Amino acid sequence: MVSIAILGFGIVGSGVAGVLTRNREQIDTAAGEAVRLKYIVDVRDFPDSPFAPVIIRDFSVVERDPDVRVVVETIGGCGVALEFTRRAILAGKHVVTSNKALVAAHGQELLELAKLHNVNYFFEASVGGGIPVLRPLKFDLAGNRITGIRGILNGTTNYILTAMREEKLSLEEALRSAQARGYAEANPTDDLNGMDAARKLAILSDLAWGREVRAEEIGREGIEKVSLKDVECAAMLGGKLKLVCEAKLLPDGGLTAFVAPQVVMPGSMLYGVDEAYNAVLITGDAVGDVMFYGTGAGSEPTASAVLGDVIDAVRHRDRRRAINWSGTPAVLSDPMGLGGRWFVRRRDIAAIEEQCPAVPKGEDAACYRVLEK
């Protein structure tokens, strides 16, 4: 029997506890032995929860317990989550996380530490929630030279842009609707400004090319300035405005990566990705295009990815799964060099001819790339 501990009993942590309990037999079979939840660490008490008997406040109990072989970190952020992750690895425990901020900022360091202590650090749930994409990229597509990654990696902004188009809502109204449905955080800044998507693109790029891509260095434009008029004009062109992430291997071996709203045309595989869904399109020299599509967030979908990692960690608990992520920093080229068609909306048409494609943004100006394929 293997004991596990969950750190953080929030949306994802409670989903992990629930699915682990509900699907116990199946998970035990997949893991090859019984997987039992021994502790949940949180800063609050949950007296009414069925998991109350295993909820504790002191992480050092987990750290010192040799029965605990796998620690699930679902606290989020780079504060205490980083400290607990380091301590768990130092104590010889495998760590599984859904925390994209931590993986994007400290993934390489934590993988190195895990290597040193012969344990695994797995983070499938940090990109695309329930969609299995990192493991296929790391293992199943490992025989390919990856030439491009394109995706819709933030369900909140995808929902907002869908609601603006279909219900003719302003950005503010669509954001309120996303919050009412539990898609957007109380503070949705990192969703709206594209940072959340940039972190996921950085993780995908790190794994695809084995070079350290910093989320902060990815060219980024969020949806804060998108107006209903922009969405309607994109629809008049036959397209849908979506927040798209792209990373490409350039012919000279360099990389470029950016996150920006684009007008996605029907010829693109991303055209049908609406509502809060996510999709990742990976292009390999041998396989061509493969797309991963599904629910990019939420309690149980994210728990599904976490539990896949837990099972993998139990099955590989005496050996490490090597992950291609070096500390060599990637130098990103300017994505403007990629060219392509642009959609420009401005009252003063003459100014477009002078300034296109770099039309300055203002209340009456908008400029988006058009994604044909």
Ligand X SMILES: NC(=O)c1ccc[n+]([C@@H]2O[C@H](COP(=O)([O-])OP(=O)(O)OC[C@H]3O[C@@H](n4cnc5c(N)ncnc54)[C@H](OP(=O)(O)O)[C@@H]3O)[C@@H](O)[C@H]2O)c1
**Pairing mode, if any, of strands 94-97 and 121-122?**
parallel
Report the nearest approach of ligand X to the CB of residue 336 (Å): 30
Collect contacts of 345-352 with beta carbons under 8 A, ≥24 apart.
345/229, 345/230, 345/233
| Tokens, residue 106 | 């400290």
List binders of ligand X among 97-126 (CB under 6 A): 98-101, 125
N-to-C CA span, the chain: 49
List all residues 6 or more positions away from 3 whose beta carbon is below 8 Å from its beta carbon: 36, 37, 38, 65, 67, 68, 69
Q: Which of 93, 200, 240, 248 is catalytic?
A: 200
Report the nearest approach of ligand X to the CB of residue 114 (Å): 18
Q: Applying CB under 6 A, which of residues 10, 18, 148, 210 lies at the interface with ligand X?
A: 10
Please, which residue, 80 or 352, has the CB nearer to ligand X? 80
Q: Which stretch binds ligand X (CB under 6 A): 60-68, 94-102, 345-353, 355-363?
A: 94-102
Cα gap 325→184, rounded to integer Å: 31
List binders of ligand X among 298-317 (CB under 6 A): 298, 302
Based on the residue annotation, tell me whether 115 is a catalytic residue of this protein: no
Report the nearest approach of ligand X to the CB of residue 239 (Å): 28
List binders of ligand X among 140-179 (CB under 6 A): none
Under 8 Å between Cβ of 200 and 100:
yes
Q: Which stretch binds ligand X (CB under 6 A): 112-120, 160-168, 296-304, 342-350?
A: 296-304
Please, which residue, 9 or 258, has the CB nearer to ligand X? 9
Under 8 Å between Cβ of 77 and 102:
yes
Please, which residue, 125 or 141, has the CB nearer to ligand X? 125
DSSP structure string for 305-372: HHHHHHHHHHHTTTSPPP----SPBPPBPPGGGG---EEEEES-HHHHHHHTTSPPPBTTEEEEEEE-
| Tokens, residue 282 | 């990976």
Verify binding: residue 42, ligand X, rule CB under 6 A: yes
Q: Which stretch binds ligand X (CB under 6 A): 8-16, 105-113, 214-222, 237-245?
A: 8-16
Report the nearest approach of ligand X to the CB of residue 104 (Å): 10
DSSP 212: B
Report the nearest approach of ligand X to the CB of residue 77 (Å): 7
Q: Which stretch binds ligand X (CB under 6 A): 41-49, 167-175, 202-210, 246-254?
A: 41-49
Under 8 Å between Cβ of 35 and 4:
yes
Report the nearest approach of ligand X to the CB of residue 98 (Å): 4
Report the nearest approach of ligand X to the CB of residue 94 (Å): 18
Which single residue brings its beta carbon nearest to ligand X?
10
Please, which residue, 230 or 312, has the CB nearer to ligand X? 312
Site map for ligand X, 221-240, x if CB under 6 A?
--------------------
Q: Is 36 exposed, middle or buried (0-12, 13-18, 19+ CB in 10 A)?
A: middle
List all residues 6 or more positions away from 280 whose beta carbon is below 8 Å from its beta carbon: 127, 128, 131, 133, 149, 150, 151, 153, 204, 291, 292
Please, which residue, 110 or 125, has the CB nearer to ligand X? 125
Q: Which stretch binds ligand X (CB under 6 A): 40-48, 108-116, 285-293, 331-339?
A: 40-48
Cα gap 136→267, rounded to integer Å: 25
Verify binding: residue 75, ligand X, rule CB under 6 A: yes
Distance of CA 234 to the CA centre of its chain: 26
Binding residues for ligand X (CB under 6 A) = 7-13, 41-44, 74-76, 80, 98-101, 125, 129, 297-298, 302
| Catalytic site positions | 200
